Amino acid sequence: MAEADKKAGQIRVGEVEISGRAFLAPMAGISDAPFRTIAERYGAALVVSEMIASASLTSGMAEMQRKLRPSGRLPHVVQLAGNEEKWLVLGARMAADAGADIIDINLGCPSKKVTNGYAGSALMRVPDKALALIEAVIGAVDLPVTVKMRLGWNDQQINAPLIARLAEGAGVRMLVVHGRTRQQFYKGRARWEPVRDVVEAVSIPVVVNGDVVDTASARKALAASGAAAVMIGRGAQGQPWIVGQVNRGLTGRGVFCSPDKEELVDVIIGHYREILTTYGRELGVRVARKHLRWYLQRAGIGEPDIRQSSLLTLDDAERVIATVGEMLDFHFQSREVA
């Protein structure tokens, strides 16, 4: 990709145009439609569905259908994981029928549950197998296909450039590289410099991922890797607006400050209500708890105060909403007094 295109923040994935340089990462159990909707509203250039196990998707489970739901006006990117061609192919076709604009193949998930089934980052240990799966998905749908991966399985198997070349040769249109090996999981520092080897190995856009938490770290990641864009994962927990904030910083589209107290309350309560609508009240109140904890922690409220409030054990949705408002009111008032 030409430098001018990078600076302009225009990335083409097949026929899909992406305007911007900061994307929300797929995160299992986190980047569902309600979360993605907020990130999009605040200016993320692209958002990706949480990882979907393709075999489960094709069984028609309601949970998997929920994961296929688009979040808004941005291109709808569905990430699939699996290790069998037939299920990935059927999953890709179902995603296409559900309105997906891009199919992403997961070669990066480090969890034992996924890698023990020889999916996710375990596929980086068998490039030929990974290539066969990629080719099968590309042949099954008339949509651009992308791949998300890690540097390799471990420090002795740094093969991301090799897999990148194989993927590009098969027709993959964009790559995302997390700057850790599978054996690192999320420990240590993400290494952005080795991602440059992937950038130099292919002609398609490469996105750098791992430890990007703000505009400053995004700029460092781009400079070190030479990538076209950044992808933000855990850094967006409790602050889904950070993706848009980084996107504006990288593209020069104005300054965006974090929400003030009133807007923050609106975001949290709106998110909470949307989770209840999406999952139903009984499940929704449990799904929302991790998000509530992250929001309050980002606001500066300590874990002891969160636990003492009983917020994370309440099942009464209206009481939860009232408690969030009370905690934030008290916290911001205390800051003003100080």
Q: What are the residue numbers of the active site?
A: 109
Name the CA radius of gyration of the chain, rounded.
20
DSSP-assigned beta bridge partners for residue 148: 106, 176
CB 261 within 8 A of CB 332: yes
DSSP-assigned beta bridge partners for residue 145: 103
Half-sphere exposure of 328 (CA within 13 A, CB side): 24
CA 125, CA 128: separation in Å to the nearest integer? 9
Task: Name residues whose C-beta falls within 8 Å of residue 330's C-beta, 6 or more positions apart in sequence.
Answer: none
CA 132, CA 162: separation in Å to the nearest integer? 14
Pure H helices in 111-259: 112-115, 127-140, 160-170, 195-201, 215-225, 242-251
CA 288, CA 161: separation in Å to the nearest integer? 39
Pair of tokens at residue 174: 């964009």
CB 193 within 8 A of CB 225: yes
Q: How far is CA 213 from CA 223, 247, 326, in A?
A: 15, 12, 28
Task: Name residues whose C-beta falls within 8 Å of residue 113's C-beta, 6 or more positions apart in sequence.
Answer: none
CA 262, CA 271: separation in Å to the nearest integer? 14
CB 226 within 8 A of CB 217: no
Element spanning 54, H or E = helix 54-57
